[in-house]
Amino acid sequence: MLYLNLTIRFKMRLNMIIHDSVMVLEAAVLKKMYRRLIKSFLDVLILSELKSGSMSGYDVIAFVHNKYRLLVSSGTVYSLLYSLERDGLVEGRWNQRKRIYTLTEKGEKTIEAVLKANEKIKGFLVNILKC
């Protein structure tokens, strides 16, 4: 009888440990996926936020950190801003010691097209995750 109680307790504790391990793993996977999604769509997030007004690279880093609780490196942000500028989607101008970025007409049209395709993008992501 004592052996049976110990076995039941052991199995219950083992199930709790396994459950906790799965929860920790799921949380880690979700955090990693969240980070990947934010970084993958960072250009869209920047263009969308630039609709509200001009921003510096530092402002972009602060925006992402405050809104998404994710700290992106300055190298990631500035290389993306330069790429957007080369593509004609944003325009950068020096203001004292920092470069301020504004949305160009091409950038406005691009972000409007992306926002209109919002449901298609959601559907695409759902289909990817069904695998």
In a shared domain, residues 26 and 57? no
Residues 89, 31 share a domain: no
Which of the four pLDDT bands, split at 50, 70 and 90, describes residue 2? very low
- Domain span at 70: 41-131
Q: Rounded CA gap, 77 and 44, in Å? A: 12
Q: How many domains does the chain have?
A: 2
Same domain, 5 and 55: no
Q: Verify that 33 and 72 share a domain, yes or no.
A: no
Q: Are residues 58 and 119 in the same domain?
A: yes
**CATH number, position 106:** 1.10.10.10
Mean of all residue pLDDT scores within the chain? 85
Do 102 and 81 share a structural domain?
A: yes
pLDDT digits (tens, 9 = 90+) for 28-71: 778 888 888 888 889 999 999 999 999 999 999 999 999 999 99
CA distance 55 to 101: 5
* Same domain as 51, residue 3: no
Shared domain check, 69 and 126: yes
Residues 46, 27, single domain; the answer is no
Strand partners, 39: none
Identify the CA nearest to 49 among candidates 85, 92, 102: 102
Task: Note whether 52 and 9 are same-domain residues.
Answer: no
Same domain, yes or no: 30 and 45:
no
Judged against a pLDDT cut of 80, whether residue 18 lies above it is answered with: no
What pLDDT score was predicted for residue 22? 61
Predicted TM-score (pTM) above 0.85 = no
